[in-house]
Amino acid sequence: MTTSPTVVVRRATPHDVADIVRLALEVQDVHVAGHPDLFKPGGVEPHAEIATRVTTPGQFYWVATLADDTVGYAYARLVVEPESLWRYASRLLLLDQMGVDARHRSRGIGEALWGAVRETAAAEAVHRVVLNVWSFNRGARRFYEQLGFTPFQERLAFAIEAPDHQSG
């Protein structure tokens, strides 16, 4: 009888930065493939920036591991929006990034990461967790909908002219 390793999710430390960057590059590749006119190959935050965020209050990184391998990560940040003439004050957690190594998808890793995000949201007493997902990324949209996310705000675009990224 074989047993599969258990997914462990924990808060990230500065020692996890290289694995976070590796996974973020994989996520970036999906974005580059989906919208090469917008996304740059290799575009991720520098190691030092992530290392700083890992230890900054109100910023949260988690990593998911199987045995000794880091196979997923999530990054969220606390956002406090003051009351205005047209909106009530709001306290939310912005789930800015989430990725699971393509070789390990459909094993409950994303759900385990979401569990950690949700626990933090409750501990931080936020009103909601908000995220952005690109329309072309049907797999991510389906995943988030299965977790219970529903449309909240939409952005529409009208392209006037394709950008020429070659001209510098």
Number of domains in the chain: 1
Question: Would you say residue 94 lies in a domain?
Answer: yes
The band of 5, judged by pLDDT with boundaries at 50, 70 and 90, is: confident
Beta strands in 3-158 (DSSP E): 7-11, 59-66, 69-81, 90-100, 128-131
Residue range of the domain that includes 87: 7-148
Question: Would you say residue 104 lies in a domain?
Answer: yes
Tokens at 147, concatenated: 């977790």
More confident residue, 157 or 166: 157
**What was the pLDDT predicted at 2?**
46
Question: Would you say residue 65 lies in a domain?
Answer: yes
Report the sign of the C-alpha dihedral through residues 49, 54, 60, 61, in that order.
positive
Computed over every residue of the chain, the mean pLDDT equals 92
The band of 48, judged by pLDDT with boundaries at 50, 70 and 90, is: very high
Give dist(CA 78, CA 120) in Å, integer: 10
**What was the pLDDT predicted at 150?**
94
Question: Would you say residue 11 lies in a domain?
Answer: yes
CATH at residue 47: 3.40.630.30
